[in-house]
């Protein structure tokens, strides 16, 4: 097909006489033309990946947005989604709300990564908890467990601050929701404002974002999620399990702790956005369109993007395994979300790769797991890098 199109184009444009008559075309025309053809076929490969994911039951809907140096090089929607669809971003909240808020407070001189958590909460002033810092929470090395169903407790926020540590701080990395819940509380205590209000005033509104935020009022463009199955399987309290049955949610955060304990706006989950607003937030952290524009100081960005021994940045994850992306460069960073969302940024290429899905709507498999997106994420990232490398207009 490519060969046939090529022959037809040559014949129709009389390429053999270019530079000799009025029907001729200069060589640069063909460079641009074949670049267009190559990019079109690369886009088709991306489309095929997404369409197969929908057809094979990985998700109901999906949006893929790839940006390079501030411009879209691939942007399309699949299945039940539209380009402007708004998704529950799940744990992307950890970086595009809470980590941004912490960085802003650092720039304001109100908070330091080295601050002890005990400075803010008396529950962290004795024993091993006394050495836990804000940076330990950001790097998931605080000693806190991965997850607890706080909404099964009578006093959930009090319980949160009294959760026993499971290992010595700074001795291991255990990805922890409770750690970021506490970070959200620290932001509120230091800023004097609710977490959602602080980030809206400091980032979302001045950046002109239309859909990024908590507890959206207009749910017409929001993709639904299915709550219950996976969290119910992890609950030990049978009475609590029956209290929260499987439910389709639209505009309410899927995470039970964020919804039931924090009213929809928590440090670990609750953020909603469409792909374009999310891309703006991602480019802020890359230092692109918004970086250095008064939102976050560049030296703060660099400090937060330094890896520890486990390859973890402050807030952001920076390993191929954590990002479901192969052959990444040393400066690559991003995050995944449990609902089926992900962002991967490659500063060296000016590249941002966003995948938004509502995979939970497909339900769990026989092993009690939601659809596995790892292969899709790896393939999309691979094609995104190919697009970036073939992109003529830099």
pLDDT tens column, 47-80: 999 999 999 999 999 999 999 998 999 999 999 9
Kindly state the tokens that stand for 1.
């097909």
At residue 293, the pLDDT reads 55
User: Span 213-240, mean pLDDT?
Assistant: 88
Region 281-299 average pLDDT: 75
CB-based contact 377:64 (threshold 8 Å): no
Classify domain 42-390 at the CATH superfamily level. DD-peptidase/beta-lactamase superfamily (3.40.710.10)
Tokens coding 320: 């191929």
C-alpha of 216 from chain center: 18
Rounded distance between C-alpha atoms, residue 214 and residue 157, angstroms: 19
Contacts 24+ apart (CB under 8 A), 283-288: 283/67, 283/70, 283/352, 284/100, 284/203, 284/207, 285/95, 285/100, 285/316, 285/333, 285/345, 286/345, 286/347, 286/350, 286/352, 287/347, 288/69, 288/70, 288/350
Q: State residue 8's pLDDT score.
A: 33
**Whole-model pTM?**
0.88
What was the pLDDT predicted at 211?
A: 98
Mean pLDDT of the chain: 88
Burial label, 184 (beta-carbon count in 10 A; 0-12, 13-18, 19+):
buried
Which helix (H) or strand (E) covers residue 49, if one does? helix 27-55
- At residue 235, the pLDDT reads 77
The mean pLDDT value for 201-218 works out to 97
Predicted pLDDT at 236:
75
3-state DSSP call for residue 358?
coil
Give me the pLDDT at residue 231, please: 80
Angle at 357 between CA 377 and CA 51, to 5 degrees: 70
* Structure confidence at residue 287 (pLDDT): 63
Q: In this prediction, what percent of the chain has a pLDDT beyond 90?
A: 77
* pLDDT confidence tier of residue 17, bands split at 50, 70 and 90: very low
**Which of 84-93, 219-228, 282-291 comes out lowest in average pLDDT?**
282-291
Distance in angstroms (rounded) separating the CA atoms of residues 214 and 270: 6
* Range 6-25 average pLDDT: 37
**What b/e sequence results for 265-287 when a residue is b if at least 16 CB atoms lie within 10 Å of its CB, and e otherwise?**
bbbbbbbbbbbbbbbbbbbbbbb
Rounded to whole angstroms, the Cα distance separating 55 from 50 reads 9
Weakest-pLDDT range from 165-174, 270-279, 295-304: 295-304
**pLDDT of res. 238:** 77
Q: Torsion angle of alpha carbons 66, 67, 73, 74, nearest 10°?
A: 20
83: pLDDT strictly greater than 50: yes
Rounded to whole angstroms, the Cα distance separating 128 from 130 reads 5
- Token pair listed for 297: 């100081």
Mean pLDDT over residues 94-100, rounded? 98
Residue 294 has pLDDT above 70, yes or no: no
For residues 74-100, give the mean pLDDT: 98
DSSP 120: T
Q: Reply yes or no on whether the pLDDT at 25 is more than 60.
A: no
- State the pLDDT at residue 3: 38
Mean pLDDT in residue range 139-166: 97
Q: Note the pLDDT tens digit of each residue in 334-374.
A: 999 999 999 999 999 999 999 999 999 999 888 889 999 99
Cβ burial, residue 53 (10 Å; 0-12/13-18/19+): buried
In the prediction, which pLDDT does 164 show? 98
Least confident of 20-34, 108-122, 152-166, 227-241: 20-34
pLDDT for res 7: 32
Boundaries of every domain in the chain: 42-390
């Amino acid at each position: 097909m490519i060969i046939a199109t090529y022959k037809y184009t040559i014949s129709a444009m009389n390429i053999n006489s270019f530079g000799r008559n009025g029907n001729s075309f200069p060589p640069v025309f063909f460079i641009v033309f074949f670049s267009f053809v190559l990019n079109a076929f690369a886009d088709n490969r991306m489309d095929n990946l997404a369409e197969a994911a929908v057809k094979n039951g990985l998700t109901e809907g999906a949006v893929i947005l790839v940006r390079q140096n501030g411009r879209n090089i691939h942007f399309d929607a699949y299945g039940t989604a539209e380009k402007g669809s708004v998704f529950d971003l799940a744990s992307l909240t950890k970086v595009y709300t809470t980590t941004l808020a912490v960085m802003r407070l650092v720039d304001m001189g109100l908070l330091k990564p080295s601050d002890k958590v005990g400075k803010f909460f008396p529950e962290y002033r004795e024993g091993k908890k006394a050495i836990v810092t804000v940076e330990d929470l950001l790097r998931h090395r605080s000693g806190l467990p991965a997850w607890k169903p706080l909404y099964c407790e009578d006093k959930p926020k009090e319980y949160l601050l009294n959760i026993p540590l499971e290992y010595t701080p700074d001795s291991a990395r255990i990805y922890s929701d409770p750690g970021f819940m506490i970070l959200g509380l620290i932001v509120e205590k230091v800023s004097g404002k609710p977490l959602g209000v602080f980030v809206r005033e400091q980032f979302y509104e001045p950046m002109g974002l239309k859909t990024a935020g908590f507890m959206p009022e207009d749910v017409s463009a929001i993709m639904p999620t299915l709550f219950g199955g996976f969290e119910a399987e992890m609950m030990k309290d049978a009475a609590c399990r029956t209290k929260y049955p499987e439910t389709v949610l639209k505009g309410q955060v899927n995470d039970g702790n964020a919804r039931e304990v924090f009213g929809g706006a928590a440090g670990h989950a609750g953020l909603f956005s469409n792909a374009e607003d999310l891309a703006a937030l991602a480019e802020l952290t890359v230092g692109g369109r918004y970086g250095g524009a008064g939102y976050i100081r560049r030296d703060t960005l660099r400090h937060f993007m330094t890896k520890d021994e486990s390859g973890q940045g402050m807030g952001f994850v920076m390993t191929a395994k954590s990002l479901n992306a192969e052959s990444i460069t040393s400066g690559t960073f991003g995050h995944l979300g449990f609902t089926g969302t992900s962002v991967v940024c490659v500063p060296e290429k000016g590249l941002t790769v966003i995948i938004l899905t509502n995979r939970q709507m497909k339900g769990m498999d026989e092993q009690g797991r939601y659809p596995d997106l790892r292969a899709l994420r790896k393939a999309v990232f691979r094609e995104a890098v190919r697009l970036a490398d073939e992109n003529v207009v830099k």
